[in-house]
Structure 1
Amino acid sequence: MSDWNTEAEMFELMKAKLYTPVVGDILDVMGYTHQFLPQAIRPIKEGMKLAGKAMTVLMIDVYGPQKKPFGLLTEALDQLKENEIYIATGGTKRCAYWGELLTATARTPKAVGAVLDGWHRDTPQVLEQNWPVFSCGCYAQDSSVRTQVVDFRCPIEIGQVTIEDGDIIFGDIDGVLVIPKAIAEEVVVKSLEKASGEKLVRKAIEDGMSATDAFAKFGIL
């Protein structure tokens, strides 16, 4: 039985009580062994954490001025909903995929973060908005003549992880996880149980129990 009544409450509980290693462990046990995005995708500031529903975005490289700069970017931004996370991939990372104004736009409908398989820019201006952004790093090169959005709310793949629109995204300093929406509630319930168990194991070890005895008793390490 879950400890929340709404999705928003589940996301807040995840941010307050869970961390990606324990959730990743549960996914492994359930047979989902390739759910972490590449290690290069990290929070742009230590302490940033996000949990929400994926709004998937697909990008491609372009070369030079376009009849419709940025492609479907503005349409994608306008589609963002409360508790969603803008997650984008595509192209060859020739420019920044995110910045100050996109952050301001995404915050308006109460979207809860952005995950970029690429670079961000305007770092000080993004940070002052106190809104979670995860990327491969910063690079100031503009996107208007180098990339565009060609589709959104479509299946995408990042680092051999398939992401469907509406899947649950959970990220912290240790990485970014994709939780298939069909199993999200079960994963969160089991992760909360494991997190509580790990606290008991740590207490037992700090009180003098050996690692071997602790594992034999709790089955957690």
Structure 2
Amino acid sequence: MSQNIEITSETLELLRKCGQGTLTTQLFKRGYRQQFLVGLAPLSKTSGRFVGEAFTLRFIPSREDKDWDLGDLKARGEDNVQWEAVEEIGPGQVLMIDSRNDPRAASAGNMLMTRMMRKGVAAAVTDGAFRDGAEISEMDFPAYCRANTATTRPAYHRAIAMQEPIGCADVAVYPGDIVVGDADGVTVIPRHIAAEVASDSYEQERRETFLFTKIDAGASLFGTYPAGPETLEEYQKWLAEGNDL
């Protein structure tokens, strides 16, 4: 199966150097028109880029007989798939949470974020909301969400399953997909094309770094972006001089 395909550290490092616009362009060229998680933003502006393997968690709406007991939350009982996921997820993985695009209650808070950060988890992403946003924004841990809320998860969400296909911000996410994030947002790359997307995205980033210097110096878009024969020849000379990302 495609999810068993090995992803090398070289592939991950190439992806880490590529922006969201480049990744989505390369995915579009391969027929994937929407792999960017629209509407999600990082709580921290300083946590930097991340890349890792998707570890999925799915929520359904909460229900009183399952998530409440005479008004007392059962959030810390044995039947807690959310905590199981936080304990199961491994270093370098990304917790991808299907919160049904519902930000009324928190998908997680700073305690769970801290546990994952100390375990070496790469990031946490939800199409809902996180709580403790002020604390999370100060952590060296990438956390992406639609909103910040103070409302506890069982008010609206029940964690029901992990490591199965989910939808996050209306993007299909399969366990083992490769997730890349930066200040602009998050893109999901199907695992079986991650290596080729990484290679072509890195080349696009290199080429566009050069093309930007041309546009910034006053060159016309025509013949420069996209590059015409003369510009491509100049680009090859630029590479031969040892320039790179």
Partner of 1:22: 22
Map of 1:66 onto structure 2: 68
Query: How many pairs align?
Result: 213
Question: Considering only aligned residues, what root-mean-square deviation do their CA atoms show, in Å?
Answer: 2.2
The equivalent of 2:42 in structure 1 is: 43
1:189-211 C-alpha deviation (Å, 9 max, x unpaired): 00000000101211222333211
- Opposite residue 92 of structure 2, the aligned amino acid is N
Work out which of the two has the higher radius of gyration on C-alpha atoms and give 1 or 2: 2
Q: Mapping of 1:41-190 within 5 angstroms?
A: 41-47=40-46, 48-64=48-64, 65-66=67-68, 68-69=74-75, 71-91=80-100, 92-190=102-200
Counterpart for residue 194 of structure 1? 204
What is the CA-CA distance between 1:105 and the residue it aligns to? 1.3
Report sequence identity in percent. 26
The whole-number CA distance in structure 1 between the counterparts of 2:134 and 2:103 is 21
Question: Tell me, what secondary structure is at the counterpart of 1:33?
Answer: coil
Provide Cα deviations, 1:113-152, integer angstroms capped at 9, x if missing partner.
Answer: 0001100111222133210000002111111343221000
2: CA distance between counterparts of 1:156 and 1:12? 26
What are the Cα deviations for residues 150-197 of structure 1, in whole angstroms up to 9, with x where unaligned?
000000012432110010111122221110000001100000000001
Q: Distance in 2 between matches of 1:216 and 1:78?
A: 49
For the 8 Å contact 2:126–2:168, the answer to whether it is kept is no
1:208 equivalent in alignment to 2:218: yes
Residues in 1 aligned to 2:170 and 2:15: alpha-carbon distance in whole angstroms: 25
Q: Distance in 2 between matches of 1:127 and 1:9?
A: 29
Flag structure 2 segments of 5+ consecutive residues without an equivalent: 1-5, 233-245
Give the whole-Å Cα distance in 2 for the aligned partners of 1:37 and 1:206.
30
Cα contact 2:62–2:155 (8 A) shared by 1: yes
CA distance in 2, matches of 1:20, 1:98: 25
Once residues 216 and 104 of structure 2 are traced to their aligned partners in structure 1, the CA distance between those partners, rounded to angstroms, is 49
C-alpha separation between the residues in 2 aligned to 1:159 and 1:6?
25
Which secondary structure state, in structure 1, belongs to the residue aligned with residue 175 of structure 2? Answer: coil
- With normalisation by structure 1, the TM-score equals 0.87
1:25 is displaced (CA, Å) by: 0.7
Residue type of the alignment partner of 1:98: A
